[in-house]
């Protein structure tokens, strides 16, 4: 059935040449394809949002009320923290500590998701022209979201923290226990290589560690929802629910150092 005759041999060679050309073709076509698809995707996303907004009007109204109240209490807390921050800065100056750098944030909007089931990535509407570079960290108001993997002039691809290819050095906020946080392709993350006597409890908050040079220290990754023992029996693992709701991301912030 799949016998290759001499006549077909040239097609085989053509196919082989095509395989070698494909990486070049992709780099050539990737940006134009993204540019062509960007306007219909943006319109489609906008329409979906508006229809959803109308459909869930009552729920959104109640949520708005709740958020207003929350916002009010947070403002009060924020002013208290501001006071503490200023006091802290004054004390640091007195002690001649180095001032912590303030990050610049770039707001981006999600326009597409990865088209397959084997990776968790997003396409956002800003790129190199807006100051985004490869490797920058992406957050939202809840916590860490991911990292910029690829940048074109007007768009960027972001790998989410639940993608298995991403590894983050994490630390349990309460006990300062360190571990490696990985994506699982599911909705949760896994914190591996915890020693047998690790002080980790269900409900503990996990934040980025200062060991990881790629991520700023102290960004919230998520909270521990389950604990277990590795198959080898040598170490333990913790299942982490991400703080950011990764299945429903719309607006994000890119941290520009």
What does the radius of gyration of the chain's CA atoms come to, in whole angstroms? 23
Pairing label, strands 205-208, 189-194: unpaired
Binding piece for another protein, criterion CB under 8 A, among 97-105, 136-144, 179-187, 194-202: 179-187
Residue among 19, 76, 94, 95 that touches another protein (CB under 8 A): 19
Residue among 183, 200, 215, 252 that touches another protein (CB under 8 A): 183
125 binds another protein (CB under 8 A): no
Cβ-contact 72, 222 below 8 angstroms: no
Residue among 118, 141, 232, 233 that touches another protein (CB under 8 A): 118
2 binds another protein (CB under 8 A): yes
Cα distances (Å, whole numbers) of residue 14 to 8, 17, 184: 10, 5, 39
Neighbour count for residue 68 (Cβ, 10 Å) = 9
What are the φ/ψ torsions at residue 119 (nearest 5 degrees)?
-150, 155
Site for another protein in 91-110 (CB under 8 A): 110
Nearest to 155 by CA among 123, 115, 110, 121: 123
Distance of alpha carbon 254 from alpha carbon 233, whole angstroms: 39
Residue among 164, 174, 220, 241 that touches another protein (CB under 8 A): 164
5 binds another protein (CB under 8 A): no
Nearest to 254 by CA among 93, 100, 146: 146
182 binds another protein (CB under 8 A): yes
For another protein, the binding residues (CB under 8 A) are: 1-2, 15, 18-19, 22-23, 25-26, 29-30, 33-34, 36-37, 40-41, 44-45, 48-49, 52, 110-119, 121-123, 149-150, 157, 159, 163-167, 182-187, 247-250
């Amino acid at each position: 059935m799949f016998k290759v005759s001499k006549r077909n041999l040239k097609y085989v060679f053509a196919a082989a040449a095509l395989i070698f050309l494909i990486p070049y073709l992709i780099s050539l076509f990737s940006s134009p394809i993204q540019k062509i698809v960007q306007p219909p995707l943006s319109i489609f996303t906008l329409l979906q949002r508006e229809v959803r907004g109308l459909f869930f009007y009552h729920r959104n109204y109640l949520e708005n009320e709740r958020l207003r109240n929350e916002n009010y209490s947070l403002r009060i807390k924020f002013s208290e923290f501001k006071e503490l921050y200023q006091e802290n800065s004054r004390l640091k100056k007195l002690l001649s500590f180095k001032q912590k750098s303030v990050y610049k944030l770039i707001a981006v909007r999600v326009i597409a998701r990865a088209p397959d089931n084997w990776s968790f990535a997003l396409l956002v509407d800003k790129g190199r022209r807006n100051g985004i570079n490869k490797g920058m960290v992406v957050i939202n108001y809840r916590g860490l979201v991911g990292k910029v993997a690829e940048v074109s002039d007007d768009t960027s691809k972001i790998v989410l923290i639940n993608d298995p290819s991403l590894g983050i050095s994490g630390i349990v906020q309460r006990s300062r226990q360190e571990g490696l946080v990985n994506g699982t392709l599911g909705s949760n993350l896994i914190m591996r290589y915890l020693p047998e006597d690790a002080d980790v409890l269900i409900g503990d908050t996990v934040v980025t560690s200062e060991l990881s040079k790629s991520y700023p220290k102290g960004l919230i990754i998520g909270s521990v929802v389950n604990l277990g023992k590795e198959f080898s029996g040598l170490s333990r693992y913790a299942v982490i629910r991400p703080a950011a709701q990764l299945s429903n991301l719309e607006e994000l912030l890119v941290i520009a150092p």
